[in-house]
């Protein structure tokens, strides 16, 4: 079970969190005309990298904040965690 | 009753307390502190089971967790448990156990015929045999294999025992209380660290209990006892025996199984049988010790062949002899401790040492005691079927290839030692690499991956002096890094006998013309010849060899067999062992009972139960409850002999005719507040929200980004910047996460806050033509007329001194209101409604009537919004704004979502107006069509329409818009029903929606 450092609450066990997928995905702006392909990529297509992955976790059983976690998908090493508004990299 | 193999004085069992027990129906006696194994051996019982494949007789091989043979079926307190290791099960008064894998009895076992047919049961037997014909698999082969597989039988009864989970945090977790565990625990604890020390066995001390050493002029055991006593007295230390750390998971999370009452006749009330500990440790010390490995020789599975260390443990801990005419067969010095212990107890052992000579301290001692030692000698084969009666021994050449002067000697046990294998399971599970250590012919942990260190013999260190020194140092160093304290302990003085080098010899060659079975894996009957065959057949990877031959599988996971298997493969392939590599170590280290894994989360505790504030009233008034997510909701209120159908029909009819009240507390409620709340709702819902005035509610539909309907509900503008959102009961949590996602990550510029208020409000829906009259009586000071409180209106009011919110919204399609009060006042509100409602023939109604009312109105719910439907499918397309953008809108342009014959919500009525259509039925054109019969749609919800007094269903039907009036068939293969139906409008009652506005 992962041990995730919530930037608001501190170290908490994984069972307090829900996984939220790739954190680098950006929702297309409202009212902007975009192609079918761009939209499909946003809705459906995700990379599944082996190694470093910036991902979203929701501290559902804690402060209810969405946070960003930089994690290695194969070793589960967590390099850093960020608040939702923090810029990463 | 005589315990013929019990020694007089030595051992740690309590001779004051005799215990009786039964094995295979026969009564025996042992002592408190015995294991089932030691008590049986004390009584001269060596035949305890039959092997897996050949049904060969099985005895005891070890004295602990590594035991491959002595697996029994245990009976305790009216329950039965399979796969219990007799070497670990402590004796208690009245214990009962039986042999497994034998029929009709362990002495006369029909299956033993396999032993004589073994030429037909080679490696990969199942793969080779049960391939064809294919059709035989389900009917014949699989049932046959199932019957033959496994040891023992699982109970079919509900397990009445209690199991618990516990979460714990510590600075230092120490796995194993041998010398390295004790030393590191002591050093760390004295330096202020929070320590958990776990010992698998009942007694602390590990090898110190049986080894001939002195520490600070005390025996090993005395020193261990003193350390443990001191540790137990420290508030920063938790010491647990009967506790096996079996898994090392991510981020230094380890799981420990504590056998709390397995050693007692029964568990006390509220005491668990076992407890699973989830421990998050800052640092981990793996002091799991090592397991002696056997030397392979002919018939080495005969009962009476035991590990030399186990023979010593049976003597020194239990005061029990594994035999009275022992042969000790070794390639190293450690087995001499066993020989010396025999001699001290007036038993004369013969030692066969595969080495040419050795003159270390311990061998000198053995010689001086007059022990018969034969160097360059080996056991060729054990003789005897159900117990060793003699063995063939021989002189072995220097290159270990040739046997000379084979002769038979009498003996009743063979104590074998092929040196020691470090127990590296935990270190490997943590993700760390292993390395092969030439000097000990075994793998040890390489670089740690997580915050862990392996010490003592688990790390391949076999001298006590070095073990204690490194363990004291490590315990201090690790604790210092956590506590910043600087209290180091003095390392004790050690006296131990120096051992000379072991011999790399591990397998006795077959004499010419002999075909003895030489077993590698004792639990699975994997012999040398099986591995040779697998390699001849082309298996190369050790992982494949394992699965093909079953080497190292099953309950013992090859604790005594893996390394010899690797030796053999590397010999055949002319490789070195590290080039062959080892199979992966996976948790659990030992079998863990399912009950312990599940813990307390069983039955009604498998999930939380949520109850509304009015729950007690429902209970008192004969409500029959139904699970709605984690909520308990009244399904109907039973009167007299009514069943579900009669009661729900009565309740629904009364709503249509008079007035009913329904507990709607469970609906999700979310407060949406902030200057940008209107803009936010406008983006979340498909319809327009910017112009909703204060004091008005609106029905809204929200989508996921892929265009699928996520949820629906009404949201009310309480004040300028304050909205009260409702969600369905099931989606409440998801919707809140969804809103938080968009507010925190996508549109952080919006000044809006959301919070769940589901538990803050109790809700009652009052529905029916008489609901306004009732409401007026409940709120005499409030204008609830059609003008004062129009459809979709909202007003705050006073309910006999209690603040209330009245929403004029309707799920039933009748004139209806929803009243909310703070949860603490929920019951007060409910009782007032019931009391005053009497004058209007009010009846409470449950979820079944609620469903009936919404279905015949054509209102959609979870069964239509099932995660596969878009607004058009459910007839909600009128609520989709063409002007503004919102979550999921772009997806609605998808081609598939705009096909002309897109599925759509319809009503379905059986032609006979009598037969109810099972939910989930498929709608087809031709009931006798060839399979697969094209499915045009499915029945999503069914009810008995109280308005029309006939069955009515909702369905999602392909091209539903143009199908009204057509005739189809509803087929339910599950219920074996085919019903001729007519497709009608989904609005079966009040299609113009006049009642809600009346």
Confidence grade of residue B652 (pLDDT, cut at 50, 70, 90): very high
Q: In sequence order, what are the residues at sequence separation of 6 or more whose Cβ sits closer than 8 angstroms to the Cβ of residue B643? A: none
3-state secondary structure B431-453: CCCEEEEHHHCEEEECCCCCCEE
| B545, pLDDT greater than 60 | yes
pLDDT at B144 over 90: no
DSSP E strands: which ranges in B549-705? 623-628, 631-637, 659-663, 668-673, 697-703
Are A13 and B280 an interchain contact pair (Cβ–Cβ within 8 Å)? yes
**For chain A, domain boundaries:** 3-83
The pLDDT, as a whole number, for residue B126 is 62
CATH number of B668-853: 3.30.1360.120
Residues in chain B within 8 Å Cβ distance of A13: 167, 253, 280
Contacts of A36 in chain B (CB under 8 A): 893-894
Predicted confidence (pLDDT) per residue in B412-470, tens digit: 999 999 999 999 999 999 998 999 999 999 999 999 999 999 999 999 999 999 999 99
Pairing mode, if any, of strands B253-259 and B243-249?
A: antiparallel
Write down the pLDDT at residue B239.
Answer: 98
Residue of B nearest to A30 (CA): B885
CATH 3.60.15.10 describes domain B1-154: no
Using the Cβ of A25 and the Cβ atoms of chain B, whether some distance falls under 8 Å is answered with no
> Which pLDDT score is estimated for B561?
86
**HSE value, Cβ hemisphere, 13 Å, CA-based, for B469:** 8
Mean pLDDT of B295-316: 97
* Topology of domain B163-290+422-495, CATH: FAD/NAD(P)-binding domain (3.50.50)
pLDDT digit string (tens) for B892-909? Answer: 999 999 999 999 999 999
Query: Taking Cα atoms as reference points, which of B205, B410, B386 lies closest to residue B313?
Result: B205
Chain segment B775-814, per-residue pLDDT in tens: 999 999 999 999 999 999 999 999 999 999 999 999 999 9
Contact (CB, 8 A) for B92 and B265: yes
Tell me whether residues A84 and B745 touch, CB distance under 8 A.
yes
- Give whole-number Cα distances, A63 to A6, A55, A58, B673, B733, in Å: 9, 18, 9, 18, 14
Q: Does B578 score more than 90 pLDDT? A: no
Running DSSP on this structure, what letter comes out for residue B935?
P
Coil, strand, or helix at residue B672?
A: strand
| B residues 863-902 lying closer than 8 A (beta carbon) to A | 884-885, 890-891, 893-894
Query: Is B410 strand, coil or helix?
Result: strand
Give me the pLDDT at residue B362, please. Answer: 95
Q: What is the pLDDT of residue B189?
A: 98
Mean pLDDT of B384-396: 96
Segment B948-963 shows an average pLDDT of 97
Buried b (16+ CB within 10 A) or exposed e, B51-86: bbbbbbbbbbbbbbbbbbbbbbbbbbeeebbbbbbb
Mutate to test the interface with B, among A17, A81, A84, A85 (most CBs of B within 10 A): A84
Residue pointed to by tokens 């120490």: B174
pLDDT at position B584 = 84
Q: Which of the two residues, B491 and B542, has the higher pLDDT score?
A: B491
CB of B412 within 8 A of CB of B389?
Answer: yes
Mean pLDDT for B850-854 is 97
Q: pLDDT tier at B141 (50, 70, 90 boundaries)?
A: low
The conformation of residue B90, written as its DSSP 8-state character, comes to B
* pLDDT bucket at B119, cuts 50 / 70 / 90: low
CB of B601 within 8 Å of a chain A CB? The answer is no
Report pLDDT for B149.
Answer: 59
What pLDDT band is residue B409 in, cutting at 50, 70 and 90? Answer: very high
Query: In chain A, what is the straight-line distance between the N-terminal and C-terminal CA atoms, in Å?
Result: 26
ipTM of the complex: 0.98
Domains B163-290+422-495 and B899-998 share a fold: no
Give dist(CA B419, CA B295) in Å, integer.
9
Question: Is a pLDDT exceeding 90 seen at residue B150?
Answer: no
Does the beta carbon of A35 lie under 8 angstroms from any beta carbon of chain B?
no
| Pairing of β B420-422 and β B761-767 | unpaired
Contact call for A66 and B744, based on CB within 8 A: yes
Q: What pLDDT score does B549 carry?
A: 87
pLDDT confidence of residue B744: 97
pLDDT of B104 strictly over 90: no
pLDDT band with cut points at 50, 70 and 90 for residue B128: low
Half-sphere exposure of B641 (CA within 13 A, CB side): 0
Short-list B876, B960, B871, B880, CA closest to B923: B960
CA nearest to B761, candidates B664, B619, B623: B664
CATH architecture of B294-416: 3-Layer(bba) Sandwich (3.50)
Q: How many helices (H) and strands (E) in chain B? A: 24, 50
Whether the upstream peptide bond of residue B133 has omega within 30° of 0, thus cis, is: yes
Taking the C-alpha atoms of residue B159 and residue B594, their distance in angstroms, rounded to an integer, is 10
**What is the pLDDT confidence band of residue B582, given thresholds at 50, 70 and 90?**
confident
Question: What is the rounded average pLDDT of the residues B694-718?
Answer: 97
Nearest Cα residue to B372 out of B356, B352, B389, B392: B352
Three-state DSSP class for B13?
coil
Question: Which residue on chain A is closest to B756 by alpha carbon?
Answer: A64
- Cβ atoms of B106 and B81 within 8 Å: the answer is no
Band of pLDDT at residue B143, cut at 50, 70 and 90: low
Judge contact between B437 and B269, C-beta under 8 A: no
Per-residue pLDDT reduced to its tens digit, B241-295: 999 999 999 999 999 999 999 999 998 888 999 999 999 999 999 999 999 999 9
Strands B526-527 and B519-521: antiparallel
Q: What is the pLDDT of residue B106?
A: 72
Q: Nearest CA to CA, how far is A24 from chain B (Å)?
A: 11
Q: B280 in contact with A at a CB cutoff of 8 Å?
A: yes
- Show me where the domains of chain B are located: 1-154, 163-290+422-495, 294-416, 668-853, 899-998
Within 10 angstroms of residue B407's Cβ, the number of other Cβ atoms is 10
Q: What is the pLDDT of residue A62?
A: 96
Residues 678-697 in B contacting A (C-alpha not used; CB under 8 Å):
683
Flag whether pLDDT at B889 surpasses 60: yes
Give CA separation, B533 vs B125, B328, B530, in Å: 11, 31, 5
Distance, in Å, from the CA atom of B66 to the CA atom of B422, rounded to the nearest integer, reads: 12
B498 touches chain A (CB under 8 A): no
Q: Take residue A87 and report the two structure tokens written for it.
A: 């810029």
Instruction: Work out the percent of chain B whose per-residue pLDDT is above 70.
Output: 95
What value does the mean pLDDT of chain B take? 94
> Does position B1 have pLDDT exceeding 60, yes or no?
no
What element of type H or E holds B951? strand B950-957
Q: Tell me which CATH homologous superfamily contains domain B899-998.
A: Aminomethyltransferase beta-barrel domains (2.40.30.110)
Q: Which tokens hold the place of B793? A: 């209106």
Instruction: Nearest chain A residue to B749 by CA: give it.
Output: A85
Query: In chain B, which among 752-811 make CB contacts under 8 A with chain A?
Result: none
- Lowest mean per-residue pLDDT among B115-119, B163-167, B232-236: B115-119
Q: Do A1 and B748 touch (CB under 8 A)?
A: no
Residue B562: pLDDT band with limits 50, 70, 90: confident
CB pairs A-B closer than 8 Å: 57
Query: How large is the average pLDDT for residues B566-588?
Result: 88
How far is B831 from B390, CA to CA, in rounded Å?
88
Separation between Cα atoms, residue A12 and residue A78, nearest integer Å: 13
What is the pLDDT at residue B984? 98
- Lowest mean pLDDT of A18-22, B343-347, B580-584, name the range: B580-584
Shortest CA distance from A75: residue in chain B: B431
Say whether B745 and A44 touch across the interface (CB within 8 A): no
Residue B233 predicted with pLDDT over 90: yes
A82 has a chain B CB within 8 A of its CB? no
Tokens encoding B45: 């019982």
pLDDT of residue B370 exceeding 80, the answer is yes
Return the closest-CA partner of residue B582 out of B425, B449, B418, B417.
B425
Residue B18 forms beta bridges with which residues?
B31
- A3-83 in CATH: which number? 3.30.2270.10
Of B27-41, B141-155, B946-960, the poorest mean pLDDT is in: B141-155
Contact A1 B278 (CB under 8 A): yes
Dist. CA B309–CA B38, nearest whole Å: 14
- Locate B382 and state its tokens: 């054990």
CB B357 within 8 A of CB B378: no
- Out of A3, A18, A30, closest to residue B280 by CB: A3
Q: Where is average pLDDT lowest: B78-82, B468-472, B554-558?
A: B554-558
Instruction: Report, as an integer, the average pLDDT of B191-215.
Output: 97
Instruction: Give the pLDDT score at B437.
Output: 94
In this prediction, residues B683-706 reach a mean pLDDT of 97
Q: Which of residues 413-442 of B touch A (CB under 8 A)?
A: 431
Q: Which of B921, B811, B937 is nearest to B862 (CA)?
A: B811
**B205 — alpha (psi -120 to 50), left (phi > 0) or beta?**
left
Distance of residue A74 Cα from the nearest chain B Cα, in angstroms: 11
């Amino acid at each position: 079970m992962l041990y995730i450092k919530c930037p608001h609450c501190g170290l908490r066990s994984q069972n307090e969190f829900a996984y939220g997928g790739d954190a680098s995905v950006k929702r297309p702006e409202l009212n902007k005309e975009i192609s079918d392909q761009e939209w499909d990529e946003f809705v459906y297509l995700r990379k599944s990298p082996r190694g470093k992955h910036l991902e979203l976790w929701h501290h559902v059983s804690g402060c209810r904040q969405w946070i960003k976690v930089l994690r290695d998908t194969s070793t589960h090493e967590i390099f850093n965690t960020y608040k939702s508004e923090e810029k990463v990299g | 009753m005589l315990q013929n193999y019990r020694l007089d004085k030595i051992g740690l069992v309590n001779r004051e307390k005799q215990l009786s027990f039964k094995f295979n129906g026969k009564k025996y006696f042992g002592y408190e502190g015995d294991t089932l194994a030691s008590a049986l051996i004390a009584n001269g019982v060596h035949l305890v089971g039959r092997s897996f494949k050949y049904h060969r007789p099985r005895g005891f091989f070890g004295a602990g967790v590594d035991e491959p043979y002595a697996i029994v079926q245990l009976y305790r307190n009216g329950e039965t448990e399979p796969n219990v290791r007799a070497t670990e099960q402590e004796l208690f008064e009245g214990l009962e156990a039986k042999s497994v894998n034998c029929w009709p009895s362990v002495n006369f076992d029909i299956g033993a015929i396999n032993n004589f047919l073994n030429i037909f049961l080679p490696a990969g037997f199942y793969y080779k045999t049960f391939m064809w014909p294919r059709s035989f698999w389900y009917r014949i082969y699989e049932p046959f294999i199932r019957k033959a597989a496994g040891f023992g039988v699982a109970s079919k009864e509900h397990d009445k025992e209690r199991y618990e989970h516990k979460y714990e945090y510590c600075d230092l977790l120490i796995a194993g209380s041998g010398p390295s565990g004790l030393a590191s625990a002591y050093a760390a604890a004295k330096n202020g660290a929070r320590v958990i020390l776990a010992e698998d066995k009942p007694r602390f001390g590990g090898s110190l209990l049986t080894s001939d050493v002195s520490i600070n002029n005390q025996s090993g055991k005395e020193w261990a006892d003193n350390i443990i006593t001191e540790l137990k007295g420290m508030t920063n230390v938790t010491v647990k025996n009967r506790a096996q750390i079996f898994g090392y998971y991510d981020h230094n999370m380890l799981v420990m199984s504590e056998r709390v009452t397995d050693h007692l006749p029964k568990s006390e009330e509220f005491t668990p049988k076992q407890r699973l500990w989830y421990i998050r440790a800052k640092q981990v010390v793996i002091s799991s010790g090592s397991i002696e490995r056997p030397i392979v020789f002919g018939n080495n599975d005969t009962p009476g062949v035991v590990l030399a260390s186990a023979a010593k443990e049976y003597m020194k801990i239990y005061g029990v002899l594994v035999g009275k005419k022992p042969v000790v067969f070794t390639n190293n010095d450690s087995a001499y401790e066993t020989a010396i212990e025999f001699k001290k107890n007036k038993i004369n052992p013969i030692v066969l040492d595969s080495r040419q000579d050795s003159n270390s301290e311990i061998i000198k001692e053995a010689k001086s005691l007059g022990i018969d030692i034969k160097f360059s000698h080996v056991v060729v084969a054990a003789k005897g079927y159900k117990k060793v009666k003699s063995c063939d021994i021989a002189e072995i050449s220097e290159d270990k290839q040739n046997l000379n002067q084979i002769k038979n000697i009498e003996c009743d046990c063979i104590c074998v030692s092929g040196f020691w294998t470090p127990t590296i399971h935990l270190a490997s599970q943590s993700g760390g690499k292993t390395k092969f250590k030439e000097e000990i012919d075994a793998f040890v942990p390489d670089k740690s991956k997580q915050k862990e260190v392996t010490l003592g013999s688990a790390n391949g260190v076999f001298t006590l002096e070095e073990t204690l020194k490194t363990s004291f140092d490590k315990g201090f160093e690790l604790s210092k890094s956590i506590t910043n304290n600087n209290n180091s302990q003095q390392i004790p003085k050690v006296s131990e006998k120096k051992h000379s080098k072991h011999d790399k010899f591990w397998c006795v060659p077959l004499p010419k013309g002999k075909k003895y079975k030489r077993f590698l894996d004792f639990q699975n009957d994997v012999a040398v010849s099986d591995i040779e065959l697998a390699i001849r057949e082309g298996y190369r990877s050790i992982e494949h060899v394992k699965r093909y031959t079953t080497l190292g599988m099953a309950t013992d996971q090859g604790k005594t067999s893996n390394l010899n298997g690797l030796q053999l493969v590397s010999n055949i392939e002319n490789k070195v062992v590290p080039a062959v590599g080892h199979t992966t170590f996976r948790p659990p280290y030992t079998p863990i009972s399912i009950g312990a894994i599940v813990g307390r989360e069983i039955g009604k505790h498998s999930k939380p139960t949520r109850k509304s504030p009015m729950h007690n009233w429902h209970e008192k008034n004969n409500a029959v409850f139904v699970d709605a997510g984690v909520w308990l909701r009244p399904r109907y209120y039973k009167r007299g002999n009514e069943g579900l159908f009669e009661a729900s029909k009565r309740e629904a009819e009364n709503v249509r005719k008079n007035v009913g009240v329904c507990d709607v507390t469970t609906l999700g409620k979310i407060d949406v507040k902030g200057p940008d709340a209107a803009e936010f709702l406008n983006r979340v819902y498909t319809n327009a929200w910017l112009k909703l005035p204060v004091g008005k509610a609106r029905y809204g539909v929200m989508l996921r980004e892929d265009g699928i309907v996520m949820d629906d509900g009404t949201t009310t503008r309480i004040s300028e910047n304050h909205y009260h959102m409702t969600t369905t009961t099931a989606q409440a949590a998801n919707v809140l996460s969804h809103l938080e996602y968009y507010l925190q990550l996508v549109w952080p510029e919006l000044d809006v806050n959301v919070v769940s208020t589901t538990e803050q409000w109790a809700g009652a829906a009052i529905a029916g033509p008489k609901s306004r009259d009732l409401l007026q009586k409940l709120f005499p000071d409030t204008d609830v007329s059609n003008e004062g409180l129009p459809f979709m209106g909202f007003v705050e009011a006073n309910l006999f001194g209690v603040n209330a919110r009245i929403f004029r919204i309707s799920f039933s399609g009748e004139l209806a209101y929803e009243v909310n009060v703070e949860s603490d006042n929920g019951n007060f509100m409910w009782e007032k409604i019931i009391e005053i409602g009497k004058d209007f023939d009010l009846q409470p109604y449950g979820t079944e009537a609620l469903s009936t009312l919404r279905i015949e109105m054509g209102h959609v719910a979870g069964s239509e919004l099932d995660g596969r439907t878009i607004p058009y499918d459910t007839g909600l397309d009128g609520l989709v704004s063409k002007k503004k953008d919102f979550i999921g809108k772009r997806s609605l342009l998808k081609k598939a979502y705009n096909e002309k014959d897109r599925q759509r919500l319809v009503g379905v009525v059986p032609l006979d107006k009598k037969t109810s259509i099972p939910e989930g039925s498929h709608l087809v054109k031709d009931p006798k069509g060839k399979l697969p019969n094209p499915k045009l749609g499915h029945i999503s919800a069914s009810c008995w329409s109280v308005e029309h007094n006939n069955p009515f269903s909702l369905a999602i039907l392909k091209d539903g818009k143009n199908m009204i009036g057509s005739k189809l068939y509803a087929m339910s293969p599950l219920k074996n029903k085919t019903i001729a139906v007519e497709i009608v409008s989904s609005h079966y009652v009040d299609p113009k929606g006049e009642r809600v506005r009346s």
